[in-house]
Amino acid sequence: MQLDHIDILYVHGVDPKVPVQEILRSLNDIVATGKVRYIAICNWPAWMVAKAQAIAKHNNWQRFIGLQYFYSAVTRDIETELVPMAADHNLSIFPWSPLAGGFLTGKYSREGSSEKGSRRADFDFPTIDKDKAFDLVDVMQDLAKNHNVSVAEIALAWVRHQKGVTSTIIGAKTLKQLHSNIKSTEIDLSKEDLNKIDAVSSKPDLYPGWMVERQSKYRK
């Protein structure tokens, strides 16, 4: 790579056979060499991240500075535990696959057709609720017309508007797609726009979240 150091080193997944403390000690040693400046985490459940932060603080080791997680308008799972945890621990959020594996580009139809060369035509990942995704694309197509942009640009703009999101990881395959992705940073979605997307994309309230909300109302 011809680099003196790496700015951010991510732990990309869970290894159930290696204790969290051992992982953190190794990461701290790597940072101490000067080869890595910061460490971050990807795909861990919220409880593991919080545990890791506590272990690192107790040992005066390097702590995670950010989260790289699957997040798009049709896959809002991280909002249940990870987003609140990130706010509490001052962690930045870097969403991966903000277009849900290309589905939120509007390239796919309910009849099963797709543009030639589309990613999901050969690699149907990551998993999403496709019926919900089609409903969401319908809404985004109307918003795209109103803003004179593409569906993908609306989907990327939505991610940028979410709490805790610092940057967005894109996966453009062509220069045209790259320019389109960059153009999405110029889109300001109104509260009405966001409400229209929320109406078809909001996640169900899961326990104990709904109980916490119910019991906390009198404190607001």
Examine residue 151 and state whether it is found in any structural domain, yes or no. Answer: yes
Predicted TM-score (pTM) of the model is 0.91
pLDDT, tens digit, for every residue of 145-183? Answer: 999 999 999 999 999 999 999 999 998 889 999 999 999
Examine residue 205 and state whether it is found in any structural domain, yes or no. Answer: yes
Examine residue 31 and state whether it is found in any structural domain, yes or no. Answer: yes
Q: How many domains does the chain divide into?
A: 1
3-state secondary structure 115-180: CCCCHHHHCCCCCCCHHHHHHHHHHHHHHHHHHCCCHHHHHHHHHHCCCCECCCCCCCCCHHHHHH
Q: Residue 87's domain spans which residues?
A: 6-219
- The CATH number for 164's domain is 3.20.20.100
- Asked if pLDDT for residue 5 goes beyond 70, the answer is yes
Examine residue 1 and state whether it is found in any structural domain, yes or no. Answer: no
Examine residue 33 and state whether it is found in any structural domain, yes or no. Answer: yes
- Asked if pLDDT for residue 110 goes beyond 90, the answer is no
pLDDT, tens digit, for every residue of 56-90? Answer: 999 999 999 999 999 999 999 999 999 999 999 99
pLDDT tier, 23 (very low <50, low <70, confident <90, very high otherwise): very high
Query: What pLDDT, on the 0 to 100 scale, is given for residue 115?
Result: 61
pLDDT, tens digit, for every residue of 188-207? Answer: 999 999 999 999 998 888 99
